[in-house]
Structure 1
Amino acid sequence: MKAIGYCANVHPGRNLGQLRESLKGPMARIAQSLAQTTLPVSLWLSAETIRELSTDPQKASHLRDQANDFGISFVAINAFPYGNFHAQRVKHAVYEPNWTDGRRAHYTMAVADLLPLLVADGTEHISISTLPLGWRGHFSASGSGASVGIASTALEQIASHLHSIEKTTGLHITLDIEPEPGCAIETSEELVGFFSHCLPATTRAGVHLRRYIGACVDVCHVAVMGEPPYEFFDRCVKAGIAINRVQLSSAIKGTHSAHDLAALAQFDEPRYLHQVVSGFGAARRMWEDIPNFLVDANADMQALAFTNVAANPHIVEPTHSLANTNDQQWRCHWHVPIHNAMINGLETTSNAITGTLEAAMRLPNAPLIEVETYAWTQLPHIDRLSNDQDIEAGIVQEILYAQVCAATAQVASDIT
């Protein structure tokens, strides 16, 4: 297994100036605290930062040299957020522009063009993560079939571009689609369906599409959709889709009890979108943010309470009732620290980390592994870390926890 790093989208990086400050500040201090030979870092590059770097390619080389001086190696790029991921309000904006908009392909190719200058000498492969086509409602506004066709054509163009870069520089760059609740691709089943219909395991114009387009698996997203990571991996492997990157992250979960719903309400915050999913399979239902879910959940509780008090068999539960799902547990898209089994009185999906790593060890290729917890400053007040030093210590703790989980997974893998 490759060394475990972390995704730097947790740090401000709206422009090159902010990125440089984050590199010489928190990133450098985290690397120093871990005292590893080299700390693998997945870099978030906004469109504005890319524009600044593209005006003078030597700026990218300088960034790489600075990172090397701090004991940091850029091993992956997060090109999911195009705009400012640390704006006061991000929400649905993180999914824009989607893959029907030419700006998304142009930005992604510009990221790829800079990578030979950003990576350390001897690097053979680097991953760029991207959104799963777009937010479902926005992406399919002009018709799902038309949108998928436009997106698949753009991805083919990206594959051709990455092929040209590899021929010229020897650097193998993959663009890795990251399924997410509420998006055009949410699950492994949908990912396989998209690849089967739009990115077949064939060569087009001399380019093997799947050499350059693969998957990035976010463990929080998988948990929210109620899909065991090993099943996700297995389905992709059988379909011939390379999993080039795994993001270790935890979601929060609870029941429809008054305690858990009150605790969940404290996680509602103005910056990021926190999708909630209840049920499994055909009964699975999604709410796009915490307030939407709580409206239905509270209405459901009031209806049930009234039914119990009145003892009236003629009162019917509302049609939106959460009791209509086949499971009374909900899961929420909230990237919480992976070493916390509980947070603010709610359980997390932290116990999936070791199993995910064990499953990753069985993949045909060794994926990049990174911790991705970006919302430290948005946590409920009791758990919130507001100063840089505390957040950096938390990230160090996460990486160390992931390393322990990896060691445990390795032992289990060796036994089986």
Structure 2
Amino acid sequence: MRFRHPDGSLVHLAYCTNVHPAEDLDGVIGQLGRYARPARERLGVPLLGVGLWLARGVADVLVADPARLARLRAALDRHGLEVVTLNGFPYQGFQAEVVKHRVYHPDWTEPARLRYTLDLARILAGLLPDDVAEGSVSTLPLAWRHPWTEGQAATAARHRALLAEGLAELAAETGKTIRVGFEPEPGCVVETTAQAAAQGLGVCLDACHLAVAFEDPAAAVARLGPSIVKLQASAALHADRPADPATRRALASFAEPRFLHQTREAGHLHGTDDLDAALDGWLPGDAAWRVHFHVPLHAPPAPPLRSTGPVLEEVLAVLFGGDRALTRHIEVETYTWEVLPDPPRTPGALADGIAAELAWTRDRLIDLGLKEEHPA
């Protein structure tokens, strides 16, 4: 979906396909017809953005064979879809039975991460619509926080320099600019926007992660400035009274084995790497908790829990409510549908949920003065 900001810039809204498990080209193309096109039709729009997640094996195929890349682009066109951003954080197996810390490998100390990211940039240059000259790729915040030595930091810095060189060469070759955003996340080497700014990183700003870290949206955006490559529109799980027995029972229903759910307590430096540990007593529970569990934007959990949707609304207002749009790519990223306490049971129900999240985001952009725009 496309929106025109009052400053004249074009803002793209997409949903991220890392919610789907396919890791071969046929599976990726199948997702477009099974989920993305129905979501577009439910929204009643002629064109819908998708933020593709392409596992390592799919990227290998697309880089090696221009005909297969053309096949993917033709499938996008056939279903009324476009791509301006890719999610390059997960490498493979993101919807496996257990993901947890595996999602951080390979990290930016490993040549495989550099190759994968440059391959995604090349693929995206071939998928961008003809009237769009800039794309974005999100990636992990260097690595999980430990181990992290000076030697590892130096290796990651060298790989980032090679990334910049490769992106510049790609732009000279194709005329398409691809920007890479490192995504701050609790528990990682780069946890906060202050750490990202200190390292001079381009940033994928994930509103769920921002909320879990109890960061102020206006201050975060101010310190990042033009380095914000894209926004991931997402909301975290919030508990006002985590020591309350009913609240703890509700939180326990979100403790599941697939993904890591870092938990932080307001007003403290306390945190745990997963919700299970917090519930087992590793956090005091004297103040509110926020949990890295992406909950649907349009459907916050029932009381006594709630979502950090208001934080996302504040982020949107800061990024798009002023005289200038401070980023041009928005990717709704709720990859946790299948592990919700009450998950959607059919492909149609999932398409309904994706469409509802996009409609929620669309309404807020329109309230901020952006106008929905359809290509001729």
* TM > 0.5: yes
> Which residue of 1 is the match for residue 256 of structure 2?
269
Deviation at 1:13, TM superposition (A): 2.5
Distance in 1 between the 2:43 and 2:154 partners?
45
> Which residue of 2 is the match for residue 285 of structure 1?
270
> Which residue of 2 is the match for residue 217 of structure 1?
205
1:400-411 paired onto structure 2 within 5 Å: 400-410=359-369
The answer as to 2:183 corresponding to 1:178 is yes
- Letter of the structure 2 residue corresponding to residue 269 of structure 1: E
- Letter of the structure 2 residue corresponding to residue 187 of structure 1: T
Q: Which runs of 5+ in 1 are unaligned?
A: 196-212, 298-319, 412-416
1:258-337 paired onto structure 2 within 5 Å: 258-280=245-267, 283-296=268-281, 321-323=284-286, 328-337=287-296
Select 1:9's aligned residue among 6, 18, 23: 18
> Which residue of 1 is the match for residue 172 of structure 2?
167
Distance in 2 between the 1:71 and 1:65 partners?
10
- Letter of the structure 2 residue corresponding to residue 370 of structure 1: E
Q: Is the 8 A contact 2:263 2:274 kept in 1?
A: yes
Q: Is the 8 A contact 1:341 1:351 kept in 2?
A: no
Select 2:96's aligned residue among 81, 87, 94: 87
Question: What CA deviation, in whole Å up to 9, does each residue of 1:141-178 have, x standing for no partner?
Answer: xx1x2222111110110111010111111100001111
> Which residue of 2 is the match for residue 120 of structure 1?
129
Distance in 2 between the 1:185 and 1:32 partners?
39
Q: Which runs of 5+ in 2 are unaligned?
A: 6-10, 371-376
> Which residue of 2 is the match for residue 193 of structure 1?
198
1:71-82 paired onto structure 2 within 5 Å: 71-82=80-91
SS at match of 1:87: coil
Distance in 1 between the 2:302 and 2:219 partners?
27
Deviation at 1:338, TM superposition (A): 0.6
Deviation at 1:321, TM superposition (A): 4.0
Identity of aligned residues (%): 32
SS at match of 2:369: helix
> Which residue of 1 is the match for residue 42 of structure 2?
33
Distance in 1 between the 2:300 and 2:216 partners?
18
Q: Is the 8 A contact 1:214 1:244 kept in 2?
A: yes
Deviation at 1:190, TM superposition (A): 0.9
Deviation at 1:12, TM superposition (A): 2.0
- Letter of the structure 1 residue corresponding to residue 339 of structure 2: Q
Deviation at 1:344, TM superposition (A): 6.5
- Letter of the structure 1 residue corresponding to residue 337 of structure 2: W
Question: What CA deviation, in whole Å up to 9, does each residue of 1:264-305 have, x standing for no partner?
Answer: 11101111111100123xx322201111111116xxxxxxxx
1:123-142 paired onto structure 2 within 5 Å: 123-138=132-147, 140=148
Select 2:313's aligned residue among 350, 354, 362: 354
Q: Is the 8 A contact 1:219 1:246 kept in 2?
A: yes
Distance in 2 between the 1:402 and 1:13 partners?
26
Relative contact order higher in (CA < 8 Å, ≥ 6 apart): 2
Distance in 2 between the 1:268 and 1:226 partners?
21
CA RMSD of aligned residues (A): 1.7
> Which residue of 2 is the match for residue 151 of structure 1?
156
- Please identify runs of 4+ aligned residues in structure 1 that moved more than 3 A: 320-323, 341-345, 362-366
TM-score, normalised to structure 2, is 0.91
The answer as to 2:334 corresponding to 1:373 is yes
- Letter of the structure 2 residue corresponding to residue 26 of structure 1: Y
Deviation at 1:4, TM superposition (A): 2.0
- Letter of the structure 2 residue corresponding to residue 165 of structure 1: L
Distance in 1 between the 2:338 and 2:55 partners?
20
> Which residue of 2 is the match for residue 109 of structure 1?
118
Distance in 1 between the 2:134 and 2:326 partners?
12
Q: Is the 8 A contact 1:358 1:410 kept in 2?
A: no
Select 1:388's aligned residue among 347, 352, 361: 347
Distance in 1 between the 2:353 and 2:41 partners?
14
Distance in 2 between the 1:393 and 1:354 partners?
22
- Letter of the structure 1 residue corresponding to residue 87 of structure 2: N
Give the structure with the larger helix fraction: 1
The answer as to 2:211 corresponding to 1:231 is no
Distance in 1 between the 2:288 and 2:187 partners?
18
- Letter of the structure 2 residue corresponding to residue 60 of structure 1: L
Q: Is the 8 A contact 2:298 2:356 kept in 1?
A: yes
Distance in 1 between the 2:183 and 2:125 partners?
23
SS at match of 1:335: coil
Question: What CA deviation, in whole Å up to 9, does each residue of 1:71-97 have, x standing for no partner?
Answer: 100110000000111111111101111
TM-score, normalised to structure 1, is 0.82
SS at match of 2:292: strand
Question: What CA deviation, in whole Å up to 9, does each residue of 1:3-54 have, x standing for no partner?
Answer: 4221111122222121111122211211222222311111001111111222
Structure with max Cα Rg: 1
> Which residue of 2 is the match for residue 341 of structure 1?
300
Distance in 1 between the 2:356 and 2:284 partners?
40
SS at match of 1:152: helix
Question: What CA deviation, in whole Å up to 9, does each residue of 1:178-214 have, x standing for no partner?
Answer: 101111111111111222xxxxxxxxxxxxxxxxx61
Give the number of aligned pairs. Answer: 357
The answer as to 2:54 corresponding to 1:45 is yes
